[in-house]
């Protein structure tokens, strides 16, 4: 097998992203992929690369993860994350993480320090304390002004009966599709990263604050293997973003990997087909980033926008609207 050119590919969430938020999203995904790629060069470890890329976005209030996470109906941050190595098939997942800056690092610690795939609630918080993670005090330090404003707008829309659960223009082929679960209010999204090294090892990491106005205790697709995150180095690694309830039903990440296993589609075609099939059938929109076993990249979304970027060698590519593709040479 010939040596593969390493790649780090990231996304910063899919959804109805306001134009004023676009520059921050683009800056953030470009920085994340550069930091992830640098870490991959330093350690040669794809898990290090995807964790570093996601940690960068968890620090950036332009993203719905870590600092900048959206709020529950009660005004709190409840985060979740997952990470997976496609060669060993080891994984770590967590939900209901509170007042910790980097849920993705908690997920990785679950993978490396327990015999489990998934910890949540009081259990994951106690585990994090025992592992030495800083629990921010007083609580609420991850709440941003933008998140507070978004929740207030959500509450006003809810009073008017407009909380974004209206049939989209795409329409559903499934006559049984639940029209109350079709479109989320306001900006949504997740952050994620996929990396491949020169030997074909693939890793994926995904992190989120969920959706504005979610009920306390809600779990989305992000921490669920096969939905928000999936890696199998024999085929591909996938991180998804968008309407979590829909992604969960479609098991979108796993669907893309299986299309690559059982069809002749290239990675871009498989990614596009899976996202479109999900939205056609279930209405909700989403996006996915994928790297296949050959080091080819797939990027697709049925949402209005999805910020993404990847670095390969000294080139970085990025975009946010449908059809966007800008490539730049990275200066030393």
The pLDDT of residue 182 is 37
Does CATH place domain 7-142+185-329 in 3.60.20.30? yes
Q: Is the pLDDT of residue 181 over 50?
A: no
Helix (H) or strand (E) holding 305: strand 305-312
- Mean pLDDT rounded to a whole number for the chain: 92
Q: Is the pLDDT of residue 261 over 70?
A: yes
- 219 marked ligand binding residue: yes
Under a CB-based contact definition with an 8 Å cutoff, are residues 81 and 206 in contact? yes
Q: What is the mean pLDDT of residues 275-289?
A: 96
Active site residues: 190
The pLDDT of residue 160 is 80
Q: In the numeric block, which tokens belong to residue 92?
A: 């770590």
Name the least confident of 14-18, 106-110, 119-123, 281-285. 14-18
Torsion over CA of 282, 260, 194 and 307, rounded to 10 degrees? -40
Cross-strand partners of 195? 8, 203
Q: Is the pLDDT of residue 29 over 60?
A: yes
Q: What is the mean pLDDT of residues 294-316?
A: 97
Q: Is the pLDDT of residue 52 over 80?
A: yes
CB atoms within 10 A of CB 46: 32
Q: In the numeric block, which tokens belong to residue 322?
A: 């449908």
Q: Give the angle 244-75-166 at the CA atoms, nearest 5°.
A: 40
- 255 marked ligand binding residue: no
Strand, helix or coil for residue 68:
coil
The pLDDT of residue 174 is 54
- 244 marked ligand binding residue: yes
Q: Is the pLDDT of residue 304 over 70?
A: yes
The pLDDT of residue 332 is 65
Summarised one tens digit per residue, pLDDT across range 69-80 is 999 999 999 999
């Amino acid at each position: 097998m010939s040596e593969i050119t390493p790649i780090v590919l990231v996304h910063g969430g899919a959804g109805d992203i306001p134009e004023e938020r676009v520059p921050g999203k683009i800056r953030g995904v470009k920085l994340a992929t550069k930091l992830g790629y640098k870490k991959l060069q330093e350690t040669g470890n794809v898990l290090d690369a995807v964790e570093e890329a996601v940690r960068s976005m968890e620090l950036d209030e332009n993203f719905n993860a870590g600092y900048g996470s959206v709020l529950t109906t009660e005004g709190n941050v409840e985060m979740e994350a997952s990470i997976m190595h496609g060669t060993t098939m080891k994984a770590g997942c967590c939900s209901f993480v509170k007042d910790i800056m980097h849920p993705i690092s908690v997920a990785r610690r679950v993978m490396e320090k327990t015999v489990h795939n998934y910890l949540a609630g009081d259990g994951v918080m106690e585990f994090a304390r025992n592992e030495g993670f800083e629990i921010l005090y007083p609580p609420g330090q991850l709440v941003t002004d933008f998140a507070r404003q978004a929740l207030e707008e959500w509450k006003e829309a809810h009073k008017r009966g407009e909380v974004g659960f209206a049939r989209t223009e795409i329409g559903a082929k499934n006559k049984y599709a639940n029209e109350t679960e079709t479109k989320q209010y306001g900006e949504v999204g997740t952050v994620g990263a996929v990396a491949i090294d020169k030997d074909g090892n693939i890793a994926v990491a995904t992190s989120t604050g969920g959706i504005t106005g979610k009920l306390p205790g809600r779990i989305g697709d992000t921490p669920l293997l096969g939905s928000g995150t999936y890696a199998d180095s024999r085929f591909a690694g996938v991180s998804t973003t968008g309407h979590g309830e829909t992604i969960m039903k479609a098991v979108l990440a796993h669907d893309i990997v299986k299309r690559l296993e059982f069809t002749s589609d290239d990675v871009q075609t498989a990614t596009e087909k899976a996202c479109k099939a999900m939205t056609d059938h279930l209405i909700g929109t989403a996006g996915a980033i994928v790297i296949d076993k050959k080091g080819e990249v797939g990027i697709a979304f049925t949402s209005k926008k999805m910020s993404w970027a990847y670095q390969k060698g000294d080139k970085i590519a990025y975009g946010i609207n449908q059809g966007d593709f800008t490539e730049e040479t990275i200066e030393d």
